[in-house]
A and B are shown apart, each in its own frame.
Chain A
Amino acid sequence: MTSAARGAGRFLAKPSFQTLLDAIAAEGYELVGPTIAEGAIVYDRIRRVQDLPAGWTDVQEAGQYRLKRRDDEMLFSYAVGPHSWKRFLYPASLTVYRAEQRDGTWHYTQTETPTPRYAFIGVRACELAAIAVQDRTLRDGLYADPHYVARREAALFVAVQCAEPAATCFCTSMNTGPACRGGYDLALTELPDGFVIEIGSDRGQQLVDSIDTEPLDAQRLDQARSISDDAAKKIKRRLDTEQLRERLLDNLEDSYWSDVAQRCLSCANCTLVCPTCFCVSLADVPDLRGQTVERHRTWDSCFNPDFSYMNGGLVRDDTRSRYRQWLTHKLATWHDQFGVSGCVGCGRCIAWCPVGIDLTQAAAAIGHQPASKDTQPSGD
């Protein structure tokens, strides 16, 4: 299904876009959207249309991310930056519980913080797919992360159909984009003179009803459709997912793991920019007197050596084993654990790798080089 296929689409003229933002804010949502900071398009609090990156796009390649001026004033004509919505739904730092000592006895309380009600503006199809992956990881299992669930349920999703995918994008291989196919309250397609609006939920409908929009004419509908179709054609990077899980797990001793480890800095950038990576660590933070202790949860990474610490040693004590853990988890064992790939094809790990290691290249290489057969598992 291409964008704007819904019958009940509407059109919002460019000069009226602020009315949509205002209507969302009036519902009590905290607006978060793309904005320019430190040479990148990042997600932060926004209030006005002027906060958005009008006329900017991003140029990406393995190990490269550059902002580039466009010759128009389009607001959402970029791909994705280093941030994902993970930083709002699954914060990098969180207090889980508090222990207080009274009369020599420790007492435990859950730290109650009000759940923020975010409205995410400019969510891409690959990012909706990433949130669907996190739903499986953090919400739908036997044990759920209550903080994620609360934030996720409270959030409003305003998607914007991707028009300018980057060279690092491969969502078409992962079947996650570029067109949004659900999981949003509203999906916008940006045209030079305004937005085609698709409505994905009752909440979305109410918002659209509360502002002045125009009926959608056939010409604009066609325009919107061709934007998504063109975006799909622009995506050239490929990841061959056929038998990928089996090929990776059957080649855990492939010599390519050592090759890539020669280049990998084990810096953890890829896991931090990844919209689905969920690994965290927990640590105690006591007050000065040691009478109150907070248990803090922070993002961690399988690339950090201490991540696998056990009994005075490290299970994965070299870059080769850590890169292998990351790639096989993302592309292979994620299927066993959560029934989907852990990769949505957003390309962030490729662009933000300081040495330009390309996940699609690595995945293609494993099992296609001469491997030391004698160390292969005899399993299936």
Chain B
Amino acid sequence: MTDPSHDPAVASEQGADAARGAARRWWLPRTVVIRRVHHDFPGVTTYAMQPLDADDWADYRAEAGQFNMLHLPGAGEAAISLSELPQLGDGFLWHTIRAAGNVTRGIAGLRVGDTLGVRGPFGSSWPLHACRQRDVLIVAGGIGLAPLRPAISLLLHERQRFGAMHLLYGARSPDSLLYASQFEQWEERGMAVHVTVDRSRPGWRGHVGVVPLLLERLRGFAPDNTVVFCCGPEVMMRYTIKAALGRGIPISRIWVSLERNMQCAVGLCGHCQLGPEFVCKDGPVFRYDRVARWLGIEAL
């Protein structure tokens, strides 16, 4: 097997993605105003943020899978993927955030009308062109559904271009499902939604168990003509990919979104390195065969 990290086709495809994100003053945040706050479930909130000065934001173009650096003054910055794109969501930047660290806990305390800073967009995006005339499996674990939602929206927007579409989504419990109110609409627009939870509760009629199990049992797609977009905890992605390969999906059609410590967001601070990759700049979305070798090494 040749080393896919040196495949020029893969490199240029992702390089082009990254190039589109190269903003003129990438280091300086611009102010946004929080316009809507939606509590998804305890600890996770989705915000609609509006540019304070529309002219200052005229050059902003984001793609599905990219992220912004959110700055809460006094707390710091956090890398948060866009959970809906401005061009699809009333011109708002949508971010779904789990309160976990200093910055995200601080943001959890913000209300409608409060301001914060945003740098971005950064990183590579989901390769929607690779889905044309193919079946598409969107596989998400927990809050990993957030960076996939813009891809879902764009794919459903041009639904006729693609084959069968399935969302395989795993969450801890029926009470921690992201965007559950959209599932019905997604089904209506032509994407089958399969949900599984780790822990059930009375009244839950869906699946119980891990996401890879859903993939092992899935019907209604042609593995040799299928694209997989996957985002979730690394262990979940590892077993999902194992299941996908087991079903006969080619490794070159599997894409993952990775997470690492990110501070500059442009490959200059060094924190996010995974082997030769800067996850912020070369990723966060990678074709799996490009990073498989590095993900297999513990503590790399």
Contacts and interface: CB of A to CB of B under 8 A. Distances in A.
Contacts of B266: 142-143
B19 interface: yes
Contacts of B263: 280-282
A105 interface: yes
A332 B273 CA distance: 13
B58 interface: no
A278 interface: yes
Contacts of A318: 299
Contact of A283 (B76, B117, B296): B76
Interface in A275-291: 278-284, 286, 290
Interface string A247-263: 00100110000000000
Contact of A380 (B3, B22, B114, B270): B3
Contacts of A201: none
Contact of B276 (A137, A253, A320, A333): A333
Contacts of A182: none
A379 B261 contact: no
B267 interface: yes
A51 interface: no
B293 A379 contact: yes
Contacts of A138: 268
Contacts of A332: 276
Main secondary structure of the interface of B (DSSP, over half): loop
B63 interface: no
A337 B25 CA distance: 22
Interface in B149-168: none
B74 A253 contact: no
Contact of B27 (A141, A146, A310): A146
Main secondary structure of the interface of A (DSSP, over half): mixed
B29 A279 contact: no
A350 interface: no
Contacts of A105: 31, 33, 52, 115
B281 interface: yes
A101 B299 CA distance: 41
B31 A279 contact: no
Contacts of A88: none
Contact of B267 (A141, A312, A329, A378): A141
Contacts of A284: 73-76
B76 A282 contact: yes
Nearest to B296: A377
Contact of B31 (A107, A300, A315, A377): A107
Interface of B: 1-3, 5, 15, 18-19, 22, 25-31, 33, 52, 71, 73-77, 100, 113-117, 259-261, 263-264, 266-271, 273, 275-276, 278, 281, 292-293, 296-300
Question: Would you list the 3 A-B pairs with minimal beta carbon distance, nearest first?
Answer: A279-B270, A336-B276, A143-B266
Given A138-B268, A279-B271, A321-B300, 20 more contacts: A96-B27, A99-B73, A101-B73, A105-B115, A108-B28, A110-B27, A142-B281, A278-B270, A282-B77, A282-B264, A283-B76, A302-B270, A307-B270, A307-B271, A310-B261, A311-B100, A315-B260, A329-B273, A377-B297, A379-B293
